[in-house]
A = this chain, B = another copy of it.
């Protein structure tokens, strides 16, 4: 036996004492060494031991602390590269409150970097709200590319295509997709994708460094239905085929796989960027989006911005 119980206990005792002097009394390791008659290195080891042995408990008394903890657990659980959790306001049923600010803050942080990036952006009410929280900036070094078509069924630009307002605000070159959101047939889609300008934009989207996307629910009030891209009946059919959510029009199942269905073959937007090469951040909250979010995390996206309640629900699954 290399060490007796007593030795170990007294060593922990020493460690606790050193940790106390260091963390509570705020002494330097040199002073502690002098006080305890040890070398500074020994004190360093004791202090280090006191933390690694879990003797030192640090608590942050702020609501943010719980959110950061949830974010760390989300990252760990779903293998994400990025996670941010905002405090929930239990009184509000809004599905953008808080995360829109958080998303805007994150966008701002990324855009204020001098190194040029290609930023892809999806569509939807959540992103729309986020972009509205962006401060005016000038960052011509970045390029912003839309992942979805911006033309509705009636030929009018969809108001939820956010690339325009975003690029407008931040003063960056932008690359919209002059396409319908959904083509009338796979053949039309293929034809459209052959167009030179479209190909350039598609290629830009494929090489995006970071993408922000919303999660579309498929239940009551599904945006695909209310925006007229799919009929209730067809949606019901793909739901029975396993679809649980939608990103930029792409329907996916509970395992995060793009469903092989007639609708997806007509989606005119760019394929979702590969999470191996691109940071794809889902911005969504609320019970309606939970199933879709859960399926997409770690498969279609490797980042998330959500709220406390949704984070808790996701981790409980």
Which chain A residues have a beta carbon within 8 Å of chain B's beta carbons? 9-10, 12-13, 15-17, 19-21, 23-25, 27, 31, 35-37, 50, 54-62, 64-66, 68-69, 72, 86-87, 89-92, 97-98, 101, 108-109, 112-113, 135-136
Contact of A25 among B12, B27, B97 (CB under 8 A): B97
Q: How far is the CA of A275 from the CA of B200 in the complex (A)?
A: 68
Contact of A89 among B21, B57, B101 (CB under 8 A): B21
Q: How far is the CA of A9 from the CA of B68 in the complex (A)?
A: 14
Contact of A64 among B20, B56, B108 (CB under 8 A): B20
> Quick check: A21 and B56 within 8 Å, CB to CB?
no
> Quick check: B98 and A36 within 8 Å, CB to CB?
no
Copies in the complex: 2
Residue of B nearest to A34 (CB): B91
Contact residues in B for A10 (Cβ distance below 8 Å):
65
A61/B65 contact (C-beta < 8 A), A87-B21, A90-B35, A109-B36 known? no
> Quick check: A59 and B60 within 8 Å, CB to CB?
no
Residue of B nearest to A82 (CB): B35
> Quick check: B55 and A57 within 8 Å, CB to CB?
no
Contact of A91 among B9, B35, B54, B55 (CB under 8 A): B35
Contact of A87 among B20, B31, B90 (CB under 8 A): B20
Contact residues in B for A91 (Cβ distance below 8 Å):
27, 31, 35
Contact of A16 among B31, B60, B135 (CB under 8 A): B60
Contact residues in B for A92 (Cβ distance below 8 Å):
25
> Quick check: B58 and A23 within 8 Å, CB to CB?
yes
> Quick check: B112 and A37 within 8 Å, CB to CB?
yes
Residue of B nearest to A94 (CB): B25
> Quick check: A54 and B61 within 8 Å, CB to CB?
yes
> Quick check: A72 and B25 within 8 Å, CB to CB?
yes
17 intermolecular pairs with C-beta atoms under 8 Å apart: A16-B65, A17-B68, A17-B87, A20-B65, A20-B98, A23-B58, A24-B65, A24-B69, A24-B97, A24-B98, A25-B72, A25-B92, A25-B97, A25-B98, A27-B89, A58-B58, A61-B135
